[in-house]
């Protein structure tokens, strides 16, 4: 009897100290079990992995695609990771000397990031400036720059670096799908190599399963010689150029999936209108049972979402045939209980500068 009491006390203590600890029996310990989206996902997976079900999907065709910013990781601290990286490169990096056009773009980015008031053509202008700002960097140098930034404390939070600014409940989704023989891909509008660097160590998605916006690479010694004629040597290394190949947004995501994966996804996860094309490609004209899930950032206590827009967004996405995941209603935690939303950003102070453009 005494032994049983001790075991009971130890279990109770563990639950108090580690309220969100995952268990072998509960792959979704960070979710509220009554979540409709979670129940839909579980029922879906159980159905399509049941060999006796008429809706069974062979493992080779169990393809799940995930957006990154706002779906797997924070995009509100205070803005997209790749935008913060470009601002850091232009406004603070002592090894980089921006010209007047680049410096003006960096300052414009700084001024509009907090209220998300970027110009309508910002996405494309951003990509061209990003390509130019990091041109000449080797892939290792680029990864080192990203990793150095990721070690910084996430603005607007306490207890979290940028490297840790990912959604723990979505990590559980990826692990659950892997356990059920799904192959998971990230299909992001962000630069492919930024996504690869961030995802490594976060979730078990290999680099070859990362699709994103692309800037052309070349051999350092290649010069103006076309790659079909140039022979890569032992003295070469790959460097980034200033040539944007593709911005992986909207229908471009569909095109990239078709070209790089070669199979139509059966599950799609996103968070914005930029993911609608990917969702629709997944759920329409699919020979298999399929589903799309849309996150809504409606938690303004633990994150920087908009609770007032929650009902409006839910109706919008459900009317389009998507299952809605509410960060406020469906998740027990977002980043972990030790992470606190401060409500204060140091962005403008951190990126205040007085650089002289290089002409």
319-354 confidence digits (pLDDT tens): 999 999 999 999 999 999 999 999 999 999 999 999
pLDDT number for residue 124 = 86
How confident is the model at residue 77, as a pLDDT? 82
Q: What is the pLDDT of residue 25?
A: 80
> What was the pLDDT predicted at 325?
98
Pairing of strands 238-246, 210-219: antiparallel
Instruction: Give the DSSP letter of residue 334.
Output: S
Task: Name residues of the chain where pLDDT drops below 70.
Answer: 1-24
- pLDDT at position 4 is 46
Contacts of residue 323, Cβ cutoff 8 Å, sequence gap at least 6? 36, 37, 40, 41, 291, 292, 293, 294
pTM above 0.85, yes or no: yes
Task: For residue 176, count other CB atoms closer than 10 A to its CB.
Answer: 16
- Summarize pLDDT for 64-91 with one digit per residue, the tens: 999 999 999 999 889 999 999 999 999 9
pLDDT for the residue 104:
97
- Note the pLDDT of residue 213: 97
Q: How many helices (H) and strands (E) does the chain have?
A: 13, 9
Q: How far is CA 22 from CA 8, 169, 201, 243, 332, in A?
A: 18, 11, 18, 45, 12
Domains delineated in the chain = 34-77+160-215+245-341 (3.40.50.1000)
The strand pairing partners of 292, in sequence order, are 268
How far is residue 230's CA from residue 106's CA, in Å, rounded to a whole number?
35
């Amino acid at each position: 009897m005494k032994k049983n009491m001790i075991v009971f006390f130890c279990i109770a203590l563990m639950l108090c100290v580690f309220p969100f600890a995952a268990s072998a029996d509960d792959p979704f310990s960070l979710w509220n079990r009554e979540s409709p989206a979670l129940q839909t996902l579980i029922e879906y997976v159980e159905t399509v992995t049941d060999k006796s079900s008429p809706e069974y999907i062979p493992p080779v065709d169990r393809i799940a695609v995930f957006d990154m910013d706002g779906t797997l990781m924070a995009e509100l601290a205070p803005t997209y990771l790749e935008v913060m990286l470009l601002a850091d490169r232009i406004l603070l990096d002592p090894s980089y000397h921006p010209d007047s056009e680049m410096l003006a773009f960096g300052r414009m980015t700084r001024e509009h990031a907090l209220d998300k008031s970027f110009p309508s053509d910002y996405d494309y202008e951003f990509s061209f400036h990003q390509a130019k700002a990091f041109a000449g960097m080797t892939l290792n140098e680029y990864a080192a720059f990203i990793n150095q930034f990721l070690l910084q404390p996430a603005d607007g939070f306490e207890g979290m670096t940028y490297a840790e600014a990912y959604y723990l409940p979505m990590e559980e989704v990826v692990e659950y799908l892997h356990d059920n023989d799904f192959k998971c891909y990230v299909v992001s509008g962000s630069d492919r190599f930024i996504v690869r660097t961030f995802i490594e160590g976060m979730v078990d998605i290999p680099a070859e399963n990362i699709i994103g916006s692309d800037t052309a690479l070349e051999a350092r010694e290649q010069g103006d010689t076309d790659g079909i004629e140039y022979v890569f040597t032992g003295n070469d290394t790959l460097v980034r150029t200033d040539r944007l190949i593709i911005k992986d947004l909207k229908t471009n995501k569909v095109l990239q999936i078709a070209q790089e994966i070669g199979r139509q996804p059966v599950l799609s996860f996103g968070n914005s209108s930029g993911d609608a094309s990917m969702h629709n490609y997944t759920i329409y004209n699919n020979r298999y049972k399929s589903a799309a899930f849309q996150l809504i950032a409606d938690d303004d206590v633990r994150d920087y979402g908009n609770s007032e827009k929650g009902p409006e967004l839910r109706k919008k996405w459900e009317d389009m045939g998507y299952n809605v995941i509410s960060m406020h209603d469906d998740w027990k935690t977002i980043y972990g209980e030790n992470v606190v939303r401060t409500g204060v950003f140091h962005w403008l102070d951190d990126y205040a500068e007085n650089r002289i453009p290089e002409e």
